[in-house]
Amino acid sequence: MLLTRRSALTTVAAATTLPLIRRARAQGAPIRIGVMNDQSGPYTNTTGVTSVVCAKQALEDFGVATKGMNVEVISADHQNKPDLAVSIARQWFDRDGVDVLLDVPTSSVALALQSVVREKNKVYLNVGAATSALTGSQCSPNFIHWTYDTYMLSKSTGGAMVKAGGDTWFFMTADYAFGKQLQSDTSDLIVKAGGKVLGSALYPFPETTDFSSFLVQAQASGAKVLGLANAGGDTINSIKQAAEFGINKSMKIAGLLMFVNDVHALGLDIAQGLNLTESFYWDMNEGTRAFTKRVLPKTPKNYPNSIHAGCYSATLHYLKTVADMGAVEVRKDGVATVNRMKAMPVEDELFGKSKIREDGRNLVPAYLFEVKKPSESKGPWDYYNLKVTTSGEDVYRPLADGHCSFVKT
């Protein structure tokens, strides 16, 4: 009985994986793009299925079928567990014939996959993770970071706000690597620009739901700007409660990592006047609006943010590289593919033209937005006013400061 139950399980498990492999071998191996992100946890809306939809949209828009290319998109939920992510990624590379890893939010997971991709010599296009270590101390020649990182967020939001007179800051910081890095990067920029940091509160993550204690401390500090070095539900909670304490009237609030989906969750009457940085907004120009119109029906009522758009743009650029190099060459050598991607100019209707730097940093421009007042908003998801644009060359960490090991300086 034990034997049968066990072997039955084994057979079932084998049956689920084997056909995949057989198909891969039979059809002359399609190129597989593996989208790995959070589909059941806190980042479901900011990454999740919408990222998968956008990657598939890129296949369609590029005309994969008409060009006779054989490309597939598969996806998995890493549940924000680094070991699960490593296990899935290894299986994807070794057994399921995946050539590109796409998206991957959550810094600890993103970092854990860096060495796996390098070991297997595949291509890693990260869009969802924030940490700038991915192109710095933990950089890899197989890696490209697509639309944002902690340094760029600090520089765009922090720099612009100090310039606009917000020269004294109080931080509310999630007590983990990402939050602390965001705070220290922003503090450096504030001090450099002649501002001052009056105080900060490190709060436990993710257990904190009530921020009133820290808000009162912020209020007592007399700072002009409240910097939120946190993400997701924490940011939403902080802003909701800041409004309750009237802090949105006495201080400027800077959300250091926010997406249009977070603004939607807050509602404009609470979010109005917030400053935040993204590198994409769906209502920016004809191209972004057309793109949004194409993908929106396929998403779970979720407008694309800069991560979703980045997944589209990264896939599109990869497909161009495949067309240029040929599928056989692309599959053979991840580093060579990434080098070709870096050599080719990036251009699409969502981000315009950009260039991928030696260390794998894609230099897209950063936009500082201010959230509209309810009276200014004309339709669904009409949320942002553009305040400042910073070019990719200016907003990202200078190449030399990253100390990336394989970049010769």
Q: Quote the least distance from Cβ 234 to other proteins, whole Å.
A: 8
Q: Quote the least distance from Cβ 255 to other proteins, whole Å.
A: 13
| Amino acid in position 19 | P
Q: Quote the least distance from Cβ 158 to other proteins, whole Å.
A: 22
Query: Of the two residues 80 and 339, which places its CB atom closer to other proteins in the complex?
Result: 80
Spatial separation of the C-alpha atoms in residues 174 and 201, rounded to whole Å: 9
Q: Quote the least distance from Cβ 112 to other proteins, whole Å.
A: 5
Query: Of the two residues 74 and 323, which places its CB atom closer to other proteins in the complex?
Result: 74
Query: Of the two residues 104 and 346, which places its CB atom closer to other proteins in the complex?
Result: 104
Q: Quote the least distance from Cβ 343 to other proteins, whole Å.
A: 27
Query: Of the two residues 48 and 195, which places its CB atom closer to other proteins in the complex?
Result: 48
Q: Quote the least distance from Cβ 325 to other proteins, whole Å.
A: 29
Q: Quote the least distance from Cβ 23 to other proteins, whole Å.
A: 15
Helices 107-120 and 177-192, axial angle in degrees (round to 10): 100
Query: Of the two residues 140 and 321, which places its CB atom closer to other proteins in the complex?
Result: 140
Query: Of the two residues 133 and 276, which places its CB atom closer to other proteins in the complex?
Result: 133
Spatial separation of the C-alpha atoms in residues 132 and 138, rounded to whole Å: 9
Query: Of the two residues 94 and 401, which places its CB atom closer to other proteins in the complex?
Result: 94
Pair of tokens at residue 305: 């943010």
Q: Quote the least distance from Cβ 332 to other proteins, whole Å.
A: 21
Query: Of the two residues 213 and 285, which places its CB atom closer to other proteins in the complex?
Result: 213
